[in-house]
Amino acid sequence: MQALGIDVLFKGTNGVRLLSGLWVSLRISLISVLISLTLGVLVGILMTKKQPVIRILTRGYLEIVRFMPQMVLLFIVFFGSTRVFGWDIDAELAAVIVFSFWGVAEMADLTRGALISIPKHQYESAAALGLNGKQTYFQIIIPQTLRRLIPLSINLITRMIKTTSLVMMIGVVEVLKVGQQIIEANRTSSPNAAFGIYAVVFLLYFLACWPISLLAKRLEKKWAVA
Amino acid sequence: MGGGVKKKGYVEMSTDSEILRVEHLKKAYGENVILKDISLSVHEGEVVVIVGPSGCGKSTLLRTLNGLEEIQGGSVTYRGVRVNGEKSGQPRRRFLNMKTPHSEKLSEIRQKVGMVFQSYELFPHKTILQNIMLAPVKVQKRDKQEVREEALALLERVGLKEKADAYPRELSGGQRQRVAIVRALAMHPEVMLFDEVTAALDPEMIREVLDVLLRLAEQGRTMVIVTHEMSFARAIADRVIFIDQGGIVEEGTGSSFFRTPKTERAKKFLETFSYDKISKHRKTG
């Protein structure tokens, strides 16, 4: 224990502090994920429209998110907006804004892909059976789109959760930052804490993401479409 | 071409038994004319087979009969009600467009004009039974239990009762196509359209599907069939319509068309299906 530096975890309230740090990370991801999923689906539906203005706007949005590193985006929103607009944005709020900005774009693209991947024939055979538009969407198109979408969006969710480790760069005291603090505070008494604490942080992230990944696998198996 | 005269004859004789009528139908994609001036009618209990070379427009013609294709001229009517109109045409794929091109009237017609597609197009996320029950329950608002019993009975007739709770992906092509036929039958259609229903199947599965169609014909079902299986066409057709380059070239009873085709083009077309004649044809030509 001593050699690995895990003993530090049991000193004082270190363990609890780490868990509360994890909660900050999860809180940011949870809110961002919820915003991303709902808005993302709506924007994704918009992206299937042929309207040129909508196309250009959504396309541009997606490209920006694709090429812009999340950390740069965090700095712009948190530091940049304060300097230029004089806004005093809370770091956690800035994080949620950036992660949602990113998540909505990716979710929208996934939704668009899932929607247009439903073959035209599915619409036709529904129409040939006399189903009207609403029935076709609710009985045929939406269920199939969701089945395609859920494994993909779960992948996005886990990526968002683990990327929240970046937010310590704008001063949010989340699990990784708490870990660093613990390591710093115990530098002399347990010099090996760097290994133990980071390993525990890794384990916490793993425990947060793994069940989601398992769920994705199960759903994928259950809903496999030949 | 005697088609027009013949059609008039039909109409005068038996308007009441006429289910579908096509008059001077024209279909084009821009400059590209697919069908020109097609007139025909389908009567109760009749099995009409449409044959012709690939790309002659026979599948498109079939799809106009239940309003899956927009048309550029003429009319298609089911029991005197226009099938084509501003609201017909291919269902759009664009999402969140609840103002879809399916009018109530068209939906009613489609319930009466059943269709089976080449690639079966079962709904992959629903079981076989759910595939069959969906439209009768949701569209026709029929009693769930009654529909279920009927669906199972129909499945039994095509030998697939034990597959009721399977998903389409677990079935072979021939089995899926039989389910697609049952799905259309469960709507109690007055006429059924079959669009090359064996074209996507392996040879050994074609028979099991054609047998189902033959049995339906024996029961007196009204059917319009587009097919490439000439010996099947010959066996099942009351009337054969031969289409080439977007127009009806020849029309006749099943036996007369295959035994003694009147037009040169029909002769040539039929010869492509028998190999000894092809070689003879090549030697002389």
Q: Mean pLDDT across chain A, nearest whole number?
A: 86
A128/B95 CB distance under 8 A: no
* Predicted local distance difference test score (pLDDT) of residue A19: 86
Average pLDDT of span A73-89: 83
* Residue B112 neighbours by CB under 8 Å, 6+ apart: B78, B79, B189, B190, B191
- Indicate whether A103 pLDDT > 60: yes
The ipTM, to two decimals, is 0.81
Please check whether residue A136 touches B, CB under 8 A. yes
Chain B contact residues (CB < 8 Å to A): 66, 68, 90-102, 104, 107-108, 110-111, 114-115, 117, 119, 121-125, 134-135, 138-140, 167-170, 183-184, 187
B68/A129 CB distance under 8 A: no
Average pLDDT of span A139-144: 90
How far is residue B232's CA from residue B226's CA, in Å, rounded to a whole number? 11
More confident residue, A171 or A59: A59
pLDDT tens per residue across span A196-212: 888 888 998 899 889 98
Please check whether residue A25 touches B, CB under 8 A. no
* Predicted local distance difference test score (pLDDT) of residue A92: 87
pLDDT tens per residue across span B73-100: 888 989 888 887 645 555 555 454 444 4
Point out the residues of chain B with pLDDT beneath 50. 1-14, 86, 94, 96-101, 278, 285
Q: Which of the four pLDDT bands, split at 50, 70 and 90, describes residue A167?
A: confident
User: Coil, helix or strand for A223?
Assistant: coil
| pTM of the predicted protein model | 0.78
Average pLDDT of span A173-178: 84
* Residue B249 neighbours by CB under 8 Å, 6+ apart: B1, B52, B242, B243, B263, B265, B266
Average pLDDT of span A34-55: 89
How far is residue A110's CA from residue A114's CA, in Å, rounded to a whole number? 6
A126/B91 CB distance under 8 A: yes
Alpha carbon of A169: minimum distance to chain B alpha carbons (Å):
41
Of A132, A133, A140, the CB nearest to B123: A140
